[in-house]
Structure 1
Amino acid sequence: MVALAATVLTGASAAATSPAPAAAPAGDGGPAVVVVKMVDYRLLQPAFLPPGTYTFKAFNAGRHPHAVEIAGPDVSNARTAVVQSGQVTEVTVTLRPGVYDFWCPVGDHRQRGMQLFVKVG
């Protein structure tokens, strides 16, 4: 878990200083991994992805509890656990071409701007 957190922290730190990284393919041919940095009140992740299966590793870099929920073509009820500051959670989904809505379902976080539309195609 510590190694995973360090890996996610490194990716999340890079995302804060540069454009969001593209998805990294899994070494074992499994789902590609996308780091999502959850901050108070934004989601930092790629806004464009090719179709495929992804594991979204969501790192809470904010002070408040956060989660990620995803909806779009053939995807509903895809949601991470709610995690506290400094914690990591994940969800794996298959994305087909289309537009997907990513948001934080905690409290009024979505209304405060913690939402991102991701184009897949």
Structure 2
Amino acid sequence: MRGNDASRGAAALLGTAALVAGLCGGASAAAAAPAAPPPAPAAAEQPARHVLVTMIDYRLLLPAHLPPGRYTFRAVNRGIAPHALEIKGPGVADERTITVRTGASADLTVTLTRGTYDFWCPVGNHRQVGMQRYVHVG
């Protein structure tokens, strides 16, 4: 190679080497940076906690206090009459199970926020004769 050609070739080689080094350095810096934690799932995506609700003529047996969260209430009929479970409170507007015969059960999944929720049996006059319970969430 002649002098000028050699100088141009060396400059091109150095430029390419600098570019490759810069790209590799950026890639390793990106790889070394800690990954951000994944976002928390929305309430509707969180797994539900399971709570047993025993329906007996004419009472509802379930906890009086619960922390906020997503719940699946399993309403089990241990009484003689058919029963159902209905819930109303902050963010929950009259959600209910199907009517359940003796020995059977039904599930109801809802998200509970802070506040007081009314649980009752909507079948006949069951609520009026005592099949109702307030649950405090918070």
Q: 1:30 deviation in Å?
A: 1.3
Q: Which residue of 2 aligns with 1:117?
A: 134
Query: Among residues 49, 54, 57, which one is paired with 1:37 in the alignment?
Result: 54
Query: What do the CA deviations read for 1:78-97 (whole angstroms, capped 9, x no partner)?
Result: 10110100001010000000
What percent of counterpart residues are identical?
58
- Which is richer in helix? 2
Q: 1:70 deviation in Å?
A: 0.2
Aligned length: 93
TM-score (norm 1): 0.76
RMSD of Structure 2 on Structure 1 (CA): 0.7
Gaps spanning 5+ residues in structure 1: where?
A: 1-28
2:63 and 2:95 map into 1 onto residues whose CA distance is 18
Query: What do the CA deviations read for 1:52-81 (whole angstroms, capped 9, x no partner)?
Result: 000000000000000000000010121011
2:53 and 2:94 map into 1 onto residues whose CA distance is 18
Q: Which residue of 1 aligns with 2:105?
A: 88
Read off the aligned partner of 1:33 and give its amino acid letter. Answer: H
Query: Among residues 50, 53, 65, which one is paired with 2:82 in the alignment?
Result: 65
Report the secondary structure of 2:95's partner residue: strand
- Which is richer in strand? 1
Q: Which residue of 2 aligns with 1:98?
A: 115
1:40 and 1:77 map into 2 onto residues whose CA distance is 21
Read off the aligned partner of 1:75 and give its amino acid letter. Answer: V
Q: Which residue of 1 aligns with 2:32?
A: none
Q: Which residue of 1 aligns with 2:73?
A: 56
2:137 and 2:94 map into 1 onto residues whose CA distance is 18
Gaps spanning 5+ residues in structure 2: where?
A: 1-45
1:48 and 1:76 map into 2 onto residues whose CA distance is 19
1:42 and 1:77 map into 2 onto residues whose CA distance is 19
TM-score (norm 2): 0.66
State the 4+ residue runs in structure 1 displaced beyond 6 angstroms. Answer: none
